[in-house]
Amino acid sequence: MKGVILAGGTGTRLYPLTKIVNKHLLPVGKQPMILYGIEKLRESGIEDILLVIGAHSAGLYAQLLGSGKEWGVRLTYKIQEEAGGIAQALALAEGWVAPGEPVAVLLGDNLFEDSLSGYINDFLQQGSGAKVLLKQVSDPRRYGVPVLQGGRIERIVEKPADPPSSYCVTGIYLYDGSVFDIIRTIKPSERGELEITDVNNAYAARGQLTYAILKGWWTDAGTFRSLHDIADFLLKEGRP
């Protein structure tokens, strides 16, 4: 299985830090944010990784990561010309992921403790469809929130004013080979982006969206508070 890390976008919530460097190159504890996702994929046996990045800081990515050899992976880079949404960024992986092959997708600002191996095995046994990983959070309004019904996801609501559950859909997604066909069917949202939630809802509508709940810690490091807190936590734990 191949892996994709989405590290485009503008990082407006971290401005002005992100004026000079892309969000996923900012330090988190002892290393740049992007390395956490790379390590998670490699530790689950995924060594072929596509990084979708913006043109901003592209040279710095090459300088930091190169071919990926130092990190035990093979890296390919694609440039997302404008921040047109998470699903638009994922669409750039079509062709690099062989037709019909499944793919593991991470949002580059999601940091977490669990190993992905068990979830990936469960997903591969599932045979088709998609799987998302959930985490209970105190502030679900910041995220995609699932409507859970009888052990499955009925649908996901993106950043709801009135959250239907206390879970968030994390930025860890496992898709079958039909994901690129699905992306072609979705339309930009009100904020003008191709939303990953619409992709996941297409699977949910077919009854093909399964989920698991992360056991360990998880964070979206995309705000000053969460970026600070996770760095502090990792340093206190003595982790890289």
Query: Which positions lie near ligand DAU, rule CB under 6 A?
Result: 6-9, 52, 80, 83-86, 88-89, 107-110, 143-144, 158, 168-171, 193, 196-197, 220, 222
Which is closer to ligand DAU, CB of 9 or CB of 163? 9
**Least distance from C-beta 193 to ligand DAU, angstroms?**
6
Measured from the CB atom, the residue of 45 and 173 that comes closer to ligand DAU is 173
Min CB(109)–ligand DAU separation in Å: 4
Distance CA 79, CA 198 (A): 22
Among the listed residues 211, 66, 71, the one whose alpha carbon sits nearest the alpha carbon of residue 134:
211
Q: How far is Cα of residue 67 from the mean position of the Cα atoms in its chain?
A: 21
**Shortest Cβ 148–ligand DAU spacing (Å):** 15
Between residues 56 and 234, which has the closer beta carbon with respect to ligand DAU? 56
Q: Shortest gap between Cβ of 75 and ligand DAU (angstroms)? A: 16
CA–CA separation, 219 and 202 (whole Å): 26
Residue whose entry in the numeric block shows the structure tokens 């093979």: 74
Give min distance, CB of 4 to ligand DAU, in A.
Answer: 10
Task: Collapse the DSSP code of 140 into the 3-class scheme (helix H, G, I; strand E, B; otherwise coil) and give the result.
Answer: helix
Which of 52, 163, 197 has its CA nearest to residue 61? 52
Question: Smallest distance from the beta carbon of 230 to ligand DAU, in angstroms?
Answer: 12
Nearer residue to ligand DAU within complex by CB, 45 or 192: 192
In this structure, what DSSP letter does residue 185 have? H
As a whole number of angstroms, the distance between CA 107 and CA 80 comes to: 14
Tokens 């062989």 locate to: 98
- For ligand DAU, the closer of residues 124 and 205 by Cβ is 205
Q: In this chain, which residue has its C-beta nearest to ligand DAU?
A: 144
Nearer to ligand DAU, 163 or 171 (CB): 171
CA distance 118 to 159: 28
Four-point Cα dihedral 64, 48, 118, 236, nearest 10: 0
